[in-house]
């Protein structure tokens, strides 16, 4: 027995020693990567190779909250990299809202590309030390794509000119005119029919958008300083206002970014513009008609609400200006992500089995725009503060209407769940006067 105890103690000692040494190695490895990141001057333009190396380094340095993936490839076989940033990044947490930033759709509009690199760095570095950043990452699935047009960026020119090299993709197609348009005469019956004759980057983005339940998004451009909101075009192709059903919400989102930006809200115009934009915002079509834009595609074909952010008068200004651009945009970028938590959220389930119901339609009285539940039955519907009546329906179930749903400003969203009866269980339509709960950080429902 004594020999057995002695062997057991020795074995435990070896295990502890191995764990300690492993931890030391990991700690040294993390310090080494962190040192490499410290040495990299981020306020500069990164070509495709440098960007790829940097993003890989972030994933290695912050494996618990950063995961690098690709949405597909460009014409010239460059990856459309995106970084997913969230707690427990390799797992799926039902009910956690999905947010995305996409930049560099026009390859020569490069400020947004570098702002998103700096944003990735800021979120990862400050996760442990800044409670605001920790809450943002813990309660949100954040997706950041620095470059949607890496081919175009490679041929763009840095300097005080807005000349076009690099605007289009390698096939010389403007990607922000390449998405299905709501006023097309074509009738689309499926995703595959929408993908026909599109550019590789457009196809990849469409599939990425439609295969995920993004809630809120912004598309970063350059050449002006303004927050532009849907719709981007009109039936008559005139340069005149084209409001979406969620006009008030979009105006709020545009105002929020503009007001948090250090100069955008001033509405000053760039040198090549006749006038500025009041409060730094505009309806897209009122500015000028953009058929086939990605902003409208998000809103019309997915759950995602997207606005377009024009960040600088110069599309690829001298790199010395990037620090100033970061200071101008940092707070606005963070505050905009936080808006993914406004409105209502909950789960749609079978009233008898409690199984989740996917593809249930969520409709708000007075707003003719539908969002759908995901495979977990979870839904998010962005709304401003107010009182709403919401109906949830599904082809196989009896619809349920809940009234007097109160939405307050900001985080947390109002929680309201829906239980639906199958058709065979139908008796009379169900209407419920709702008194929903709200989500608070640290409660048992913080990620629902």
Q: What is the pLDDT of residues 253-309, one digit of tens each?
A: 999 999 999 999 999 888 877 778 999 999 999 999 999 999 999 999 999 999 999
Closest CA to 382 of 228, 390, 227: 390
| Cβ 140 vs Cβ 341: under 8 Å | yes
First-last CA distance in the chain: 53
Q: CB-side exposure of 21: number of CA atoms within 13 Å?
A: 6
Cα pseudo-dihedral 182, 185, 190, 192, rounded to 10? -100
Burial of 275 (0-12, 13-18, 19+ CB in 10 A): exposed
- Above 70 in pLDDT, residue 31? no
Specify whether 310 is catalytic.
Answer: yes
pLDDT of residue 5: 52
The stretch 396-423 carries a mean pLDDT of: 95
| Cβ 259 vs Cβ 346: under 8 Å | no
The stretch 352-376 carries a mean pLDDT of: 98
116-166, pLDDT tens digit by residue? 999 999 999 999 999 999 999 999 999 999 999 999 999 999 998 888 899
How far is Cα 190 from Cα 314, in angstroms, rounded to an integer?
Answer: 39
pLDDT of residue 16: 40
How far is Cα 404 from Cα 416, in angstroms, rounded to an integer?
Answer: 11
Percent of the chain whose predicted confidence (pLDDT) is above 70: 86
Structure tokens at 368: 């003719």
For residue 9, name the pLDDT band (cuts at 50, 70, 90): low
Considering the entire predicted model, what is its pTM? Answer: 0.87
Residue identified by tokens 């339509």 is 429
Pick the catalytic residue: 201, 306, 310, 325? 310
How far is Cα 394 from Cα 150, in angstroms, rounded to an integer?
Answer: 41
The stretch 237-250 carries a mean pLDDT of: 94
* CA-to-CA dists, residue 111 to 101, 265, 320, angstroms: 13, 18, 12
- Above 90 in pLDDT, residue 105? yes
Mean pLDDT over each residue of the chain, to the nearest integer: 88
pLDDT of residue 446: 25
- Above 60 in pLDDT, residue 442? no
For residue 247, name the pLDDT band (cuts at 50, 70, 90): very high
Burial of 319 (0-12, 13-18, 19+ CB in 10 A): middle
Closest CA to 257 of 283, 225, 232: 225
- Above 50 in pLDDT, residue 218? yes
């Amino acid at each position: 027995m004594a020999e057995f105890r002695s062997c057991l103690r020795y074995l435990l000692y070896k295990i502890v020693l191995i764990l300690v040494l492993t931890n030391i190695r990991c700690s040294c490895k993390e310090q080494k990567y962190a040192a490499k990141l410290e040495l990299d001057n981020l306020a500069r333009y990164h070509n495709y190779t440098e960007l790829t190396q940097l993003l890989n380094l972030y994933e290695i340095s912050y494996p618990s909250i950063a995961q690098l993936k690709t949405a597909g490839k460009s014409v010239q076989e460059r990856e459309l990299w995106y970084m997913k940033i969230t707690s427990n990044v390799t797992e799926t947490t039902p009910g956690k809202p999905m947010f995305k930033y996409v930049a560099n759709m026009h390859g020569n509009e490069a400020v947004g590309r570098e702002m998103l690199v700096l944003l990735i760095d800021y979120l990862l570095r400050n996760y442990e030390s800044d409670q605001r950043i920790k809450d943002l990452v813990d309660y949100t699935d954040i997706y950041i794509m620095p470059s949607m047009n890496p081919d175009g960026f490679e041929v763009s020119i840095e300097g005080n000119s807005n000349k076009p090299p690099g605007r289009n993709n390698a096939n010389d197609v403007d990607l922000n005119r390449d998405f299905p348009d709501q006023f097309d005469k074509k009738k689309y019956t499926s995703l595959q029919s929408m993908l026909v004759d599109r550019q590789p980057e457009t196809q990849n983005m469409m599939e990425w958008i439609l295969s995920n339940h993004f809630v809120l998004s912004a598309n970063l451009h350059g050449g002006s300083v303004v927050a532009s909101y849907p719709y981007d075009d009109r039936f008559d192709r005139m340069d005149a206002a084209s409001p979406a059903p969620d006009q008030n919400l979009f105006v709020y989102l545009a105002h929020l970014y503009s007001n948090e930006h250090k100069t955008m809200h001033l509405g000053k115009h760039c040198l090549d513009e006749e006038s500025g934009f009041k409060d730094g915002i505009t309806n897209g079509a009122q500015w000028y008609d953009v058929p086939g834009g990605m902003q409208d595609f998000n809103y019309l074909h997915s759950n995602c609400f997207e606005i377009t952010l024009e960040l600088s008068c110069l599309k690829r200004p001298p790199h010395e200006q990037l620090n100033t651009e970061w200071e101008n945009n940092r707070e606005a970028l963070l505050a905009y992500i936080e808006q993914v938590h406004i409105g209502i959220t909950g789960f749609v389930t079978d009233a008898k089995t409690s199984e989740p119901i996917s593809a249930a339609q969520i409709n708000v009285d007075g707003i003719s725009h539908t969002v759908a539940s995901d495979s977990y039955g979870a839904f998010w519907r962005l709304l401003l503060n107010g009182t709403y009546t919401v109906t949830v329906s599904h082809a196989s179930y009896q619809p349920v209407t809940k009234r007097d749903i109160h939405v307050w400003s900001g985080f947390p969203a109002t929680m309201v769940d829906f239980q639906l009866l199958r058709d065979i269980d139908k008796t009379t339509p169900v209407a419920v006067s709702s008194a929903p709960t709200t989500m608070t950080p640290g409660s048992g429902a913080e990620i629902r």
